[in-house]
């Protein structure tokens, strides 16, 4: 057997892009052995072993233990090989699905943060109440909180999370609150404690607890500061309503754009309040 047809340990390690000690260790545990060793004990590898080594490397990357890889290598046959590929394909698809959800979460958080930063600009501090055209969106609503008299806010949020999970829906969007405009009470120190529903955006158009917010004109107000002072902005919006003879629609929405997730000072919180209006 001529060693000129084979690769030294260093050459084969370079071909596989791994340190030499990996090959030494795999040889010691009988996982991947050289094609032969010469009389001085030097290891030599064949080009034909490259695919086998890369398979081992791939299985290791897929979090398969060396012991399990060794068992597979000893017992492998076409049927076992196909079973292994199918199993790993399922695991990869699961990981891809998880990563796509994480990516979606990041995209939504970026979008919300960018909107909050935009509304933090000086011009919005001067004119923080305006009428705007909004596109039609579908909202996934929680159960009606008015029907849950003895339920605390934390328990209600837990129930909402269960609702999302049971419907195989994602809550990566920021959760907002909505309530009927005729329930608005300026005497309350915390307006959003009176919410009727929690909501998040969804691509679903029909189904249980799906509400379509129609395309059209809405009256919006930007509140910068802690939630405890939301009523000040509500009062300003309602004064604007009276001054401009605006007729309010059924629902009011609160969307929390900049929260304690991105700032530590509540004075920097940005909340968008959206009123339905009758045209």
Domain holding 135, by residue range, is: 101-277
Do residues 19 and 124 both lie within one domain? no
Distances from the Cα of 275 to the Cα of 72, 104, 216, 246, 262, angstroms: 63, 28, 11, 11, 26
- pLDDT (tens place) for every residue of the chain, 279 residues total: 444 578 999 999 999 999 999 999 999 999 999 999 999 999 999 999 999 999 999 899 888 999 999 999 888 899 988 998 899 899 999 999 989 888 888 888 888 889 888 888 877 666 799 999 999 999 988 877 665 445 566 666 676 677 667 666 555 556 788 888 887 754 443 444 566 788 888 888 888 789 999 999 999 999 999 988 998 999 999 999 999 999 999 999 999 999 888 899 999 999 999 999 987
Query: In sequence order, what DSSP letters do the residues of 170-228 get, joined into one string?
Result: ---SPPEEEEEGGG--TT-S-GGGG-SEEEEEES--SSTTEEEE-SEEEEEEEEES-GG
Do residues 131 and 234 both lie within one domain? yes
Q: How many domains does the chain have?
A: 2
Do residues 43 and 176 both lie within one domain? no
Do residues 125 and 231 both lie within one domain? yes
Do residues 38 and 133 both lie within one domain? no
Do residues 58 and 128 both lie within one domain? no
Do residues 135 and 171 both lie within one domain? yes
Do residues 117 and 246 both lie within one domain? yes
Question: Is 90 a member of any domain?
Answer: no
Question: Is 94 a member of any domain?
Answer: no
CATH of the domain at 30: 1.10.1660.10
């Amino acid at each position: 057997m001529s060693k000129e047809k084979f690769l030294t340990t260093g050459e084969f390690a370079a071909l596989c892009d791994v340190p030499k000690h990996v090959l030494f260790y795999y040889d010691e545990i009988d996982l991947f052995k050289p094609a032969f060793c010469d009389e001085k004990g030097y290891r030599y590898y064949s080009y034909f072993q490259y695919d086998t080594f890369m398979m081992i490397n791939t299985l290791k990357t897929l979090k398969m233990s060396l012991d399990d890889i060794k068992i597979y290598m000893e017992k492998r046959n076409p049927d076992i090989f196909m079973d292994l590929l199918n199993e790993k394909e399922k695991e990869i698809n699961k990981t891809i699905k998880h990563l796509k959800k994480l990516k979606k979460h990041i995209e939504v958080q970026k979008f919300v943060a960018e909107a909050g930063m935009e509304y933090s600009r000086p011009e919005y501090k001067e004119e923080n109440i305006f009428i705007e055209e909004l596109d039609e969106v579908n909202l996934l609503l929680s159960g009606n909180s008015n029907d849950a008299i003895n339920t605390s806010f934390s328990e209600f949020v837990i129930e909402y999370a269960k609702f999302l999970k049971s419907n195989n829906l994602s809550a990566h969007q920021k959760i907002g609150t909505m309530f009927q405009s005729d329930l608005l009470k300026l005497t309350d120190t915390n307006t959003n404690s009176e919410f009727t529903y929690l909501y998040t955006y969804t691509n679903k158009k029909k189904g249980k607890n799906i509400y379509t917010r129609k395309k059209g004109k809405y009256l919006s107000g930007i509140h910068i500061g802690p939630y405890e002072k939301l009523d000040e902005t509500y009062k300003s919006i309602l004064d604007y309503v009276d001054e401009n003879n605006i007729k309010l629609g059924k629902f009011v929405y609160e969307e929390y754009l900049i929260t304690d997730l991105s700032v530590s000072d509540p004075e920097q919180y940005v909340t968008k309040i959206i009123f339905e209006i009758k045209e």
